[in-house]
Amino acid sequence: MLRFLLFAACCVPLTLWYSTRMILASLLPGPSGPKGERIGRRWSGLLLRVSGLRLEVDLSALTPGGHYVFMVNHQSNFDIPLLYAVLSAFPIRFVAKKSLFTIPVFGAAMHKAGHIPIDRENRRSGMKSVQDAVDAARAGVCPVIFPEGTRNPNPEKLLDFKIGGMVLALKCGLPVAPLIISGTGRALPRGRMRLTPTTIRVKALPPVDVSAFTLKQREQFRDGLYSTMSQAYAALPKD
């Protein structure tokens, strides 16, 4: 119990430390991307260490350093530091709702780190956001998309996938690497800051070649991806 109280006490200060470091680092000479990745990994590693949660990670389906679009189910705010840590071999950037980028200090740090805001309320702005993500992917970044669109409060099954994430993935033209997370919703449920002891499991599925799909087939692509990820999620132990 003390370990999880420690996490609650450290989460906000560590996140403020990360945000401040990221903003200051962006002012120094040199490419901001690599600096942001190093700071983000240090932040995520510290949070995982103080959490004391057990991790079971299987990324054997991926090529280390490969160039992918990651599609990940979303259960908790803990998913962010978790993915930063377990995907340390990849230059990931999160595709996230625009409102997160308005949070004082933290939002500015997300901008400086190169994460990609998506405007869901304005169609024209949303299309530009998609193009920004595509441009980032072509520059070597691995976008991370949460296709459910929000944190899922139900640990029994995945939420329906939004079509926007499918369009973005198809436009990027990179192999799509589905990633299944289980346990973060129990460890840190929505609206709570105290962790519950559990095992977090992360499993990568074989990447999907999107060249077989056109934009007009985005619903077919979505349905197939949902089926694959749902079956893999159901097969993971949940304790």
User: Domain 2-235 belongs to what topology?
Assistant: Glycerol-3-phosphate (1)-acyltransferase (3.40.1130)
Q: What is residue 162's predicted lDDT score, i.e. its pLDDT? A: 94
Quick one: pLDDT at residue 160?
97
**This prediction's pTM:** 0.89
Q: Which of 141, 219, 225, 214 is nearest to 176 (CA)?
A: 225
Q: Give the residue from 116, 143, 144 showing the smallest Cα distance to 132.
A: 116
> Rounded to whole angstroms, how far apart are CA atoms 182 and 25?
33
Please give the share of the chain, as a percent, with pLDDT higher than 70.
85
Tokens of 16: 């403020």
Nearest to 185, CA basis, from 236, 222, 221: 236
Name the band, by pLDDT with cuts 50, 70 and 90, for residue 200.
very high
Q: pLDDT of 47-104, one tens digit each?
A: 888 888 899 999 999 998 899 999 999 999 899 999 999 999 999 999 988 888 888 8
List the beta bridge partners of residue 182: 201
The pLDDT value given to residue 228: 97
Instruction: Evaluate whether 182 touches 198 at the Cβ level (below 8 Å).
Output: no
Per-residue pLDDT for 29 more than 60? no
Burial code of 88-114, b = ≥16 C-beta within 10 A, e = fewer? bebbbbbbbebeebeeeebbbbbebbb
Average pLDDT, whole number, for the chain?
86
pLDDT digits 0-9 by tens, 229-238: 999 999 998 7
Cβ(72)–Cβ(179) below 8 Å: yes
Residue range 191-196: mean pLDDT, rounded: 76
Domain ranges of the chain: 2-235
Question: For residue 194, what pLDDT is reported?
Answer: 74
- pLDDT tens, 143-165? 999 999 999 998 889 999 999 89
- Residue 122 or residue 171, greater confidence: 171
Would you place residue 2 in the very low, low, confident or very high pLDDT band (cuts 50, 70, 90)?
Answer: low
Cβ atoms 133, 114 nearer than 8 A: no
Residue 111 has pLDDT above 90, yes or no: no
